[in-house]
Structure 1
Amino acid sequence: MVGGKAKNMSNKKRKVIAETKADRNNNKTVLLGLMERGSRLRLQAVKPTDFVPDLLRANVDLESVLMTDTANTYFKIGKDYAYHGVVDHGKKEYGRGYNYTNGIEGCFSQFDRMVIGIYHYISPKHIQKYADEFTFRFNSRKATDLVRFNTLLSNCNNRLTYNNLIK
């Protein structure tokens, strides 16, 4: 989930959250990360109306080995895959043999550092654009600067104007 912490909010916003007894993750946007071991990354902003198991089925082959944490979302859908390995962070378990999620967790850590160090704030409206930028940079990290630059230019289809950006 991407979003600010209550302790970093203004007193006014914290007070509203406390009075309404709102969920502490109310101000966060869910970012679904899919990564093939030793390969490419895909990040997708999840809207509240999206159903994560449907997104998994659309993006991950059912013959694949699925590695997840213990989030309730994955238990039922994990049965549809060839194998479903689970890592329980609540029990301080971060890997058990072939079962680990360190690759995707490292990506999320780098994404968080990008937000904190460069952008400071990402609005839910534009989070997918930031995720796409991060994904491009992550997936092309082993390429030379020239190859990366040429790939970037070849993917530019048209001009992005300010009015199109803020719509």
Structure 2
Amino acid sequence: MNTPCLVIIDMQKGMATPAAGSRNNPQAEDNIVRLLRAWRAAGAPVVHVRHISRSPASLFAPGQSGVEFQEALQPLAHEHVVEKNVPDAFINTALERWLRVRGVNALVIVGVSTNNSVESSARTAGNLGFRTIVVADATYAYAMRDYAGVERSADEVHAMALANLMSDYAAIKDTETVLAELAAH
């Protein structure tokens, strides 16, 4: 089995602004940086996913500073960058082909937001047959109102998204476990 590919989803400057909303897991960026450093040290594949909005008013519209990668998570020249304009990193991006051509059969997914781009990308990865891990403390969600009108905390939204994934689509692990597994690989 080959080393999993680290897939970093939407870690853009726009996600770090107060306009993005109330969130959980304030340590997520630090954990993502730790994972990225470990993947780079191992010479393992890394994919950076960036959301490019079709709406000119979005924080993630082309030309806006919000679309840029956060400083600590800038891709290196040899790391693959995927640009998407829907939550799922596999839709209209050729990500699956890029992974298959390189013989990648396992993914470690981190980033934002747990209940949107992370969840939709992990669902597709699982459905496509990739062995998928979502790192719970290297992802985060934002508070939101549910369909019944009940305000849900970012922790509740995050936990429900992970619950949606853990039975059929992905294993849910923490940063320490994933780092230990990478070192043992």
Q: With structure 2 as the length reference, what TM-score do the two structures score?
A: 0.30
Greater relative contact order, per chain length (Cα 8 Å cut-off, separation 6+):
2
Q: With structure 1 as the length reference, what TM-score do the two structures score?
A: 0.32
- Structure with higher strand content: 2
Structure of larger gyration radius: 1
- Structure with higher helix content: 1
